[in-house]
Structure 1
Amino acid sequence: MSKIVFFCIPAYGHTNPTIEVVRELVKRGNQVHYYSFYEFRSRIEETGAVCIPCDDFMPPAPADLDKKVGRDLSSLVDMTVDVTLAMEDKVLGELRAWKPDCIVSDSICIWGKLFAKKLNVPFVCSTTTFAFNQQTARLMKQSLSELLHMLSGMPRINARLRQLRRHGYEIRQFYELLQNDNDTETIVYTSKEFQPMSETFSDKFTFTGPSLAVPKPSGHKKSRPLVYISLGTVLNRQEDFYRSCMEALKSEDVDVIMAVGGRTDVSDLGVIPDNFQIAPRVNQLEVLQEADAFLTHCGMNSVSESLYFGVPMVLFPQQPEEGAVARRVQEVGAGIMLGEATAKKIRSAVNHILKSEEYKNNSERMSMSFHNAGGVKKAAEIIETVIVKAQNNMQNNI
């Protein structure tokens, strides 16, 4: 029986893929401690793991969060340094006392990676986005203004890195915080076929496909195509977009399920068309099993779940990382970009997806690659293998 620690950021798209991996590790007899947040506590504890909430160490979300997500590198580094230094006394003390055999940390949850390196504990990177290296980083296609903003923040970034080094964290360049390197054992929750430039990654990268617990279908009674619309859990307060969707599809021969997020007041959207079901949140895995098209913000989790069930997409990315995912969906022929979110363009894009067999066939091709990648069991095997190798190396050095 091994002791395994997980770290993650407070985000559904980064936490959800780890839940079933944790459940599998516990089922295999391992002990798991998960440094997460109260919002995810019940889901984590249902797996049999111990959840250690870290809410008190997180800075408050900025008022302009919608503008910063995926665009403000200096703010990400600020948050990383602040959280790392705020948590280190508590967490390093607990880790030294518990003596974990392995630390698994989300690729964006950089403090988990820093703690593992400082304590010299075997480390596995959990990557819920595409894996990024110097080649694939170009896929982000940041605008000139975003690049200039990043460059203007470099003095502040370098000052924060010096602060980390003073606390014993060996970080030379900022990209070491973010980039997947070829020497780190890395689990990527997609398939080689969907990962851009998968040939540029070392054999330390294991592409396991999505990590899902597939529920029973929602039981939606289908007499015509079902269209699902969601902008995810972060940048989803977009009333004008939802009104355009209602205008676009209210007279079409389709049923629509639209998730609008907890910050959107459904009553503010006006008269709800008869063929629409609107809610703050739905069970996305249930809906996607029966959907014929998905209008999505192109978060990696949402796209992966859509492709897992072979559902083609209308693509409406909101930030650079989502843009990279959307372009990959286009490249494999499983969706089309929406562009401007007018009622006319939404109607045209949705109808095009529904009438074209090509998008459906390509989505099903990606679905097959996901199902064949190994999934939860493969991810758990990688973590256990890292532990066994470390223990064997230790014995050989005695």
Structure 2
Amino acid sequence: MTHFAIICPAVTGHLNPMFALGRELQRRGHRVTFIGVLDAQSTTLAAGLEFRAIAESEYPLGAMPKLSAQLGELSGLPALRHAFSDFQQWNAVLLRDAPGAIQEAGVEALLVDQVIPVRETLAEFLDMPLIEVCNALILNPDDTIPPFFTTWSYNPAGWARLRNLAAYLLFGRIAGPIEKVNEEYRRQWKLPLHSSSNERFSPLAIVSQQPAEFEFPRKTLPDYFHFTGPYHDSTGRVSVDFPYEKLTGQPLIYASMGTIQNRLVEVFHTIASACVGLDAQLVISLGGSGSPESLQGLPGNPLVVGYAPQLELLKKATLTITHAGMNTTLECLTNGVPMVAIPITHDQPGVAARITWTGAGELVPLSQLSVPRLRGAIQQVLTQESYKKNATRLQEAIRRAGGVSRAADIPLLSLSENFCHC
């Protein structure tokens, strides 16, 4: 038996897949402890995993909802900068508090979300095996791949690579303060400073919940990088009441802007207006950003709920209008549901770019969002069979990828080959 520690941001889009992976490892007889802030405790315990709190003074109970509310009112690069400003503090306290919590818990191996920039420093200091988990878009460097925060499609031309490099330089400036924190701790812990970006990644195993078919062509990934497909399930998720009796039997359009970037109320008004007159029923999930009563009187009288049982509704959906969060996108594709994407920030533009590149949907940039533009995209995806066919093609790719079972195989195999803990 191996004792794994899970470390990831305490937000739904990262917790849900990590918990699914943790439960699969637990089912196989291993021990799994989540290391994080107090706001993740109740959901961790509901998922059946162990919990260890860190950073209790900086992140008391209720801190994460406040941060999410602030972030939910922003979009684009301002939202990215705001998130990285908060993330700088989180990574600093993670390096300060996590080693003690991990050692006290008796952890033997680390499962760390790839979005945690200090993951390799933490593992190196603890002298523990590190398995990276890509819950968001892959961050491994490749100048042929557009940065995750852009809606640029893949293009191997020289000018496109120069464009990508310029954008990566911009991102480097935004992320610079976090790297300074990383370097400070490496000096303090007498670890050699990183000389290249590749040294920040696990040398053991990296797993991604994308299927390979939902990624731009990459030629520089290490041979221990694995596309496993998504690892999500409904176990441990909070039960959500939903008025199924109000579904009309018409084709269902499900609209969700996620659980963080969901406070741009005008987006919901635009979605409702764009669906007026369609032979379909629109269901809007607010993702906790407000009460349904706050959006009464929307055009077309859509069914509005505070939260929705997303996995269940996607089994009934004909189309999803989404912020292009990775989890919602993969859950749509798991059910063969095409999408219209309205990305807000973080990796959502990059996910939306892959939705259009694979032909599984259309993209409407937030800066160009209007009722006519969105209505046109919705009608195009609803009426052209290619979108459904491509979503179904990716659904089959997800089935072949192996999912959570294969994702759990990889760390166990890596540890047995390199450390003999399993």
Residue 205 of structure 2: aligned partner: 185
What is the SS of the residue equivalent to 1:193? helix
TM-score (norm: length of structure 2): 0.81
- Report the alpha carbon displacement of residue 199 of structure 1 after superposing the two structures with TM: 4.0
* Count of aligned pairs: 390
Q: Deviations over 1:233-256 (max 9, x none)?
A: 111111111112222223322101
Distance 1:17 1:324 in 2: 19
Residue 203 of structure 1: aligned partner: 223
Gaps of 5+ in 1: none
CA separation of 1:160 and 1:18: change in aligned 2, threshold 3 A: closer
CA separation of 1:148 and 1:120: change in aligned 2, threshold 3 A: closer
* 1:26-175 superposed matches below 5 A: 26-54=26-54, 56=56, 58=58, 61=67, 65=71, 66=74, 68-71=78-81, 75=85, 78-87=88-97, 91-135=98-142, 138-140=146-148, 150=171, 156=177, 159-168=180-189, 170=191, 172-173=193-194
Distance 1:74 1:122 in 2: 26
Distance 2:369 2:176 in 1: 38
TM-score (norm: length of structure 1): 0.86
What is the SS of the residue equivalent to 2:401? coil
Identity in percent: 24
CA separation of 1:326 and 1:178: change in aligned 2, threshold 3 A: farther
Confirm or deny: 8 A CA contact 1:131 1:188 kept in the other structure: yes
CA separation of 1:151 and 1:25: change in aligned 2, threshold 3 A: closer
Confirm or deny: 8 A CA contact 1:294 1:313 kept in the other structure: yes
- Report the alpha carbon displacement of residue 386 of structure 1 after superposing the two structures with TM: 2.3
Confirm or deny: 8 A CA contact 2:269 2:298 kept in the other structure: no
Confirm or deny: 8 A CA contact 1:315 1:335 kept in the other structure: yes
Residue 368 of structure 1: aligned partner: 396
- Report the alpha carbon displacement of residue 264 of structure 1 after superposing the two structures with TM: 3.0
Q: Deviations over 1:345-392 (max 9, x none)?
A: 222221211111100000000011011111111111112112212334
What is the SS of the residue equivalent to 1:186? strand
Matched, 1:323 2:343: no
Distance 1:52 1:200 in 2: 36
Select 2:266's aligned residue among 210, 217, 240: 240
Amino acid at match of 1:75: S
CA separation of 1:154 and 1:370: change in aligned 2, threshold 3 A: closer
Confirm or deny: 8 A CA contact 1:5 1:35 kept in the other structure: yes
What is the SS of the residue equivalent to 2:330? helix
**303-312 or 16-25, which moves further after superposition?**
16-25
Matched, 1:253 2:279: yes
Confirm or deny: 8 A CA contact 2:355 2:361 kept in the other structure: yes
Distance 1:10 1:391 in 2: 29
Confirm or deny: 8 A CA contact 2:286 2:305 kept in the other structure: yes
**338-347 or 354-363, which moves further after superposition?**
338-347
Confirm or deny: 8 A CA contact 1:225 1:292 kept in the other structure: yes
Confirm or deny: 8 A CA contact 1:83 1:111 kept in the other structure: no
Matched, 1:333 2:353: no
Q: CA RMSD in A?
A: 3.3
CA separation of 1:193 and 1:147: change in aligned 2, threshold 3 A: closer
CA separation of 1:139 and 1:99: change in aligned 2, threshold 3 A: same
Amino acid at match of 2:116: C
- Report the alpha carbon displacement of residue 113 of structure 1 after superposing the two structures with TM: 3.9
Residue 264 of structure 1: aligned partner: 290
What is the SS of the residue equivalent to 2:131? strand
Q: Deviations over 1:198-254 (max 9, x none)?
A: 443122111110112268998675532100111111111111111122222233221
